[in-house]
Amino acid sequence: MVPPFLEVTDLACRRGGRRVLDHLSFSVGTGELLALTGRNGSGKSTLLRTLALLVPADAGTIRWQGEDVVIDPDRWRSQVAWLGHLDGLKADLTVRENLHSSQPDRARVDAAVAAFDLSALATREVRTLSAGQRRRAALARVAASTAPVWLLDEPLNALDAAAQTLLHAAIARHLATGGVAIAATHADMPSARPLELGA
């Protein structure tokens, strides 16, 4: 039997010394979007940070293609594209320079710029952009990566309706190529399987 692409078993996570998640188990298959839902403080961001190995799990296992990710954490990190609350962009670099710093393939960068309607902004320094424009640039960085796993913390933040449509389309393309995405969100996301935390 082929193991799930990503499988979480009996995971426990802490934030500020307090357990916010306990005995959490789920799996995500290729081509699937998992939407983490729940009230503020339910552990959505903590779970994503734990999956990205930015913070250690308190207990449990995270397996990717059947292998515990802690066996080779650098290999796992190379499979993950991360978007946190902060955009992770260098303010003194242009949009295109930011994307090229993490993805040298010009064609992939060009495609990501187009996907998030950034062509007119590509040569502008990030410091000159609005919050919504910066968020689009950060999402373009994720889309430009070759990582099969996207971990997105409130990706719709600061996006207007048009930009939200661009994001949904980018996620759909990623899933169509066999990728997976896990997003913490308070908004509806098309074709997502919900996982409510703190229920």
Q: What is the CATH number of the domain that holds 55?
A: 3.40.50.300
Residue 164 has what pLDDT? 97
Which tens digit of pLDDT belongs to each residue from 153-184?
A: 999 999 999 999 999 999 999 999 999 999 99
Q: Quickly state the pLDDT bin for 4 (edges 50, 70, 90).
A: confident
Query: Above pLDDT 70, what percent of the chain?
Result: 98
DSSP code for 140: H
Report the distance separating Cα 73 and Cα 51, nearest Å: 11
- Kindly state the average pLDDT of the residues 119-138: 98
Residues of the domain holding 25: 1-79+148-199
Q: Quickly state the pLDDT bin for 198 (edges 50, 70, 90).
A: confident
Domain check: are 126 and 154 in the same one?
no
Domain check: are 94 and 52 in the same one?
no
DSSP track, 23-88: EEEEEE-TT-EEEEE-STTSSHHHHHHHHTTSS--SEEEEEETTEETTTSHHHHHHTEEEE-SS--
Domain check: are 63 and 141 in the same one?
no
Domain check: are 95 and 72 in the same one?
no
- Kindly state the average pLDDT of the residues 63-69: 96
pTM of the predicted model as reported, rounded to 2 decimal places: 0.96
Question: Number of folded domains in the chain?
Answer: 2
Tell me if residue 133 falls in helix, strand or coil: helix
Residue 67 has what pLDDT? 96
